[in-house]
Chains A and B, each alone.
Chain A
Amino acid sequence: MSSQEIPEENLPEEQGAAHDAVDKAHADPFADPGLPAHRPRIQDLDERAAKRSERTVATMFLLSMLATVGFIASYVIFPVDKIVFIFPFGHVSALNFSLGLTLGLALFLIGAGAVHWARTLMSDVEVADERHPIEATPEVKAKVLADFADGARESALGRRKLIRNTMFGALALVPLSGVVLLRDLGPLPEKKLRKTLWAKGKQLVNMNTMEPLRPEDVVVGSLTFAMPEGLEEHDEDFQTQIAKAALMIIRIEPDDIKDKREREWAHEGIVAFSKICTHVGCPISLYEQQTHHVLCPCHQSTFDLSDGARVIFGPAGHPLPQLRIGVNSEGNLEALGDFEEPVGPAFWERG
């Protein structure tokens, strides 16, 4: 391979063979030395070596056939749920592993055989393809320019201004039809970005038990997720709704809450914050109960839930919206309205 040929080029015989080139180089140090002389491979000289290469290629193609047979056989043999231990992959599906291995081998061996065939048996004589200038001949250029000038004169675009101006007008208006079509690609967002399912009197439902949350359930240091009552996981628009309405419920000693509004909107230290990051809307609930910090896993925005969910680090532009909560006559936690500001990332018309 290439490692062998570098020293060989420096052999005295080699330089003698290219004697002409050396002479020219003396005359003009920047002259094109031309292509190196073609040298044959062992397969070009020795028929036995060529036969050996042929056999290697044929063996690879044969192994590829066997691998294909193996693929079909493993598909038939292994049940879907059979798990086997294979070092270093661990406990893997026998079917997946054998299918991948045999199909991979079948394809790889075709490629490897073809490459070996090309490298050892097909002609390896370097063929130089000279480059030519790609520009047109001066006659053709002159003809094109003359034709263009003729056309411009005959159209009288410069003289008949009415035609020219109306044509520009028509061309400018045509794209408007496309813009109108774009407008109707979907309904306008309307208030969807500003409103969530939360409303006055909606109970907070624990997403683990699907039962309404009670204030005594929520202890200091705990973390619970809640959704509005009436929303069911099998609802068609469940994902759309929970993407805006998801809530984190935590409890902080009322004296530890630094933000006055947060304390007023809480119920005995139980605070409800939107779970949607105000940066690009990742679900954010990496809550550290000792510091009351919440970290967003996407871009490391950090919010201080004991201080009105103020942004203390990262790219988020707004604090997390807080939901005002209270207790209804049954003693369950309920919302006292929707979020005061849009949840999730900022948008153009957010204000």
Chain B
Amino acid sequence: MKKLSARRRHPLAAVVVLLLALAATGGLYAAFAPASKAQADDTAQSLAIDEGKKLYSVGCASCHGTGGQGTTDGPQLVGVGSAAVDFQVGTGRMPAQQPGAQVPKKKVIYSQAEIDQLAAYVASLGAGPVVPTKSQVSPEGADIAKGGDLFRTNCAQCHNFTGKGGALTNGKYAPDLDGVSPKHIYEAMLTGPQSMPSFPDSTMPEKQKRDIIAYVKTVNGSEAESPGGLSLGGLGPVSEGLFGWIFGLGGLIAVAIWVAAHTAKAKKS
């Protein structure tokens, strides 16, 4: 200490102190600044965004505008989030084939990696709902009965009580939920694609969305158990009544006619 104190008036002391102070500030900055880790992420993320932007300019920009600002042919994409992109492109609805009452589900033309890049690009335009993780959408351990309750309150009016879908106005319709993956059901609830209203986490928490997915997976689809047997499409009393009137009553009338018909006569010998 004495040594140091003795040299404090040395002509170079100010320079040394200045260098030390600069090193300390730089070191502290390097230690505490959030940049370093974020930077590593950013490179992968920005790469995906760049790739997504290229895909976007080719496949989407003609309707949604070069910067996602929307045109007369397609809505603005700022703030729709990656979940909306993953749903629309992942179910083949986007890119749309033609304008019309409703864009139907069709063959998916992008790979999941490309969809992720597109989603990353659109998410970079403005914050929005994020693609859920596997555990967020898994029906594993969810409350199926509660899901049925929620489904009947929130979804059944359009999608039918077992998710068979139904008609809306002017050619629009609520699609059948058969074969829709849990992730896409979750994203549809979160983002509200096309005519469907959204059910954000603020009014329908994540746990309830999983309950609903578990219910849909239990009652809908070819693997669903149907203790009653022939479900006739699960469309309710209309199809059941039609079947009863046409095939049930028709069969009875046919049998009645046969019972009362002439019996077979012996051929003349």
Contact = CB atoms under 8 A, between A and B. Distances in A.
Interface residues of B, number: 42
Contacts of A288: 168-169, 172, 195
Nearest to B196: A289
B contacts with A: majority SS: loop
Given A90-B226, A288-B168, A225 B154 contact: yes
Contacts of B197: 221-223, 250, 287, 289
Given A4-B265, A89-B230, A290 B195 contact: yes
A contact face: mostly helix, strand, loop, or mixed = mixed
A4 B169 CA distance: 55
A41 B222 CA distance: 51
Interface in B177-215: 192, 194-200, 202-205, 208
Contacts of B261: 1-2
A39 B264 CA distance: 10
Contacts of A13: 268
Contact of A219 (B169, B198, B223, B266): B198
A42 interface: yes
A218 B154 CA distance: 15
B266 A41 contact: yes
B44 interface: no
B5 interface: no
B7 interface: no
A125 to B, nearest CB: 11
Contacts of B172: 288
Contacts of A216: 202
A68 interface: no
Interface stretch (A133-141, A207-215, A339-347): A207-215
A136 B94 CA distance: 84
B198 A5 contact: no
Query: Which of A97, A124, A222 has the most chain B CB atoms closer than 10 A to its own CB?
Result: A222
A297 B202 contact: no
Contact of A293 (B169, B194, B262): B169
Given A11-B268, A90-B231, A92-B226, 6 more contacts: A40-B265, A119-B263, A216-B202, A218-B202, A288-B168, A288-B172
Interface of A: 1-2, 4-5, 8, 11, 13, 39-42, 44-46, 83, 89-93, 96-97, 100, 115, 119-120, 124, 206-209, 213-214, 216-219, 221-225, 250, 283-291, 293, 295, 297, 300, 302, 313
8 contacts: A1-B261, A5-B262, A40-B265, A91-B225, A91-B226, A96-B229, A214-B202, A221-B192
Top 5 A-B pairs ranked by shortest CB distance? A223-B197, A93-B227, A217-B202, A288-B195, A289-B197
